[in-house]
Amino acid sequence: MRLMACCRLQVLSLAVVVSMMIGFAIQMLGISIQKRPQLVPLDRAQESPPVFIREDVMQRQCHPKMHIMFLKTHKTASSTILNILYRFGETHDLTFALPLHYQFGYPNLFRARRVKNYRPDSKQEYHILCNHMRFFFPEIKKVMSPDTFFFSILRNPITMAESSYAYYKSVSSAFKKVRSFEQFLDDPWKYYSIQEPSNHYARNLLWFDFGFNQNTNYTEKYMETVISNIENTFHLILLAEYFDESMVLLRESLCWDLDDVVAFRLNFRSKESVRQLSSEYIEKLKAWNSLDWHLYSHFNRTFWKKVKQYGYERMQRDVSLLKQKRQNLMELCLIEGRPVEAARIQDKSIKPLQFGQARILGYNIKPELSGSLREKCLRMVIPELQHKDLIDMKQFPPTSLPTVRQENQGRLQIHKMGIHGGNINAQHL
């Protein structure tokens, strides 16, 4: 009996030891399995943490934003964003706060009374405010809902200033006095006067569009105050040089679908009309537009912080998908699948405004398209002035019988936009 008990005890002890060894092995194996995701280069692990939640699931956790204020800055690819907002608003039957003409009294500060049919005692809900203005928040909040999403876009002040010179040479009194942009930069105060008209195009134009005095001397304290003001008002500042990355961030912030931010470039120049500045004149321009330069430099840094938060690999994937979607649409909609010189645009009703020295490109829609596909493609390429007119027609249809002259003008406009023969369904305008 003692021998049997001793044997049972030895067997039991052996079993315990084996169990402990198996448990310890499993534990070690489990630890090694858990540690495998950490076998990533430290810099990449810190920059782009893996995303475990599927994107479509993440999208359902938010609701698309419908109250949007876009500060449309000058010469910053803002016309392309305007087209995105116009199409989104039309698709979802949203109400635009429209100007009486094409801008909200620019270059004067924005005033609520410049919104078409705006009345202080009215309960009219406006979803999107996006046409050119000089920003003034106290008046904007009279028009827009408290939950409005504010965003804008900046561009490198070097290329932006060169573009402004080409576009506004016949408008700015300072630019009119010189034969070249370099001549202006050699001695800007010789040609620039604060009192003369339209000279805001010649200095710190971004600063001016945001509602600040573009002639104020730069100081660090002043710059910090203004940047703090902008950051406390705007939820997102984009960069024209990284337009696709900007659209991905915008889509994420608005909780929209990627298809909502697919767009063709609008109101942009041919490469032949772009003038490259030497390093000497770049430095002169940085000094002349120092407020814009520091503003852009700051929001360039914050932009890439947002990209880092989004995830570099995720951003690269979504930008590639966005580019592919755009390329597919261009091949589907456009003759030759690319933009063309204004002189080669076949349908003159979608020819962009040619202004100043700039040679603005446009598009040719494939003539064989019809129905909803033609309508979709046409809205991708309609210049902003014509597009605004269409939205205006929808929101403010004629309330009385038109005169013969008004009727003829209306027919001309309808003919110009191709709203005939079933090409565009008028109920969607």
Domain boundaries along the sequence of the chain: 62-336
pLDDT beyond 50 at 30: no
Note whether 126 and 115 are within 8 A (CB).
yes
Q: What is the 3-state secondary structure (H, E, C) of 384-422?
A: HHHHHHHHHHHHCCCCCCCCHHHHHHHHHHHHHCCCCCC
- Specify the 3-state DSSP secondary structure of 335: helix
Cα–Cα distance between 35 and 410 in angstroms, integer? 70
pLDDT for residue 410: 43
DSSP 382: -
pLDDT for residue 274: 80
If one looks up domain 62-336 in CATH, what number appears? 3.40.50
256 token code pair = 């929209």
- Kindly state the percentage of the chain with pLDDT values over 70: 77
Give me the mean pLDDT over the 141-170 stretch.
96
Rounded to 5°, angle at Cα 408 from 402 and 412: 125
Given the structure tokens 């499993």, which residue do they identify?
Answer: 26
How does residue 67 score in pLDDT terms, banded at 50, 70 and 90?
very high
- Kindly state the percentage of the chain with pLDDT values over 90: 67
Task: With 0.75 as the threshold, say if the pTM is over it.
Answer: yes
Cα–Cα distance between 181 and 160 in angstroms, integer? 12
Phi, psi (5° rounding) for residue 127? -95, -40
Hey, what amino acid is at 313?
E
pLDDT for residue 269: 65
Q: Which pLDDT tens digit goes with each residue over 228-259? A: 999 999 999 999 999 999 999 999 999 999 99
- Whats the size of the chain, residue-wise? 429
Picking from 346, 351, 358, 411, the residue whose alpha carbon sits closest to that of residue 381 is 351
Give me the mean pLDDT over the 41-56 stretch.
34
How does residue 398 score in pLDDT terms, banded at 50, 70 and 90?
confident
Question: What angle, 0 to 180 degrees and rounded to 10, lies between the N-to-C axes of helices 279-288 and 157-168?
Answer: 90
Distances (CA, A) of 57 to 62, 65, 108, 255: 10, 17, 45, 12
How does residue 340 score in pLDDT terms, banded at 50, 70 and 90?
confident
Across all residues in the chain, what is the average pLDDT? 82
How does residue 349 score in pLDDT terms, banded at 50, 70 and 90?
confident
Note whether 291 and 157 are within 8 A (CB).
no
pLDDT for residue 270: 65
For residue 189, the Cα-to-chain-centroid distance in whole angstroms is: 34
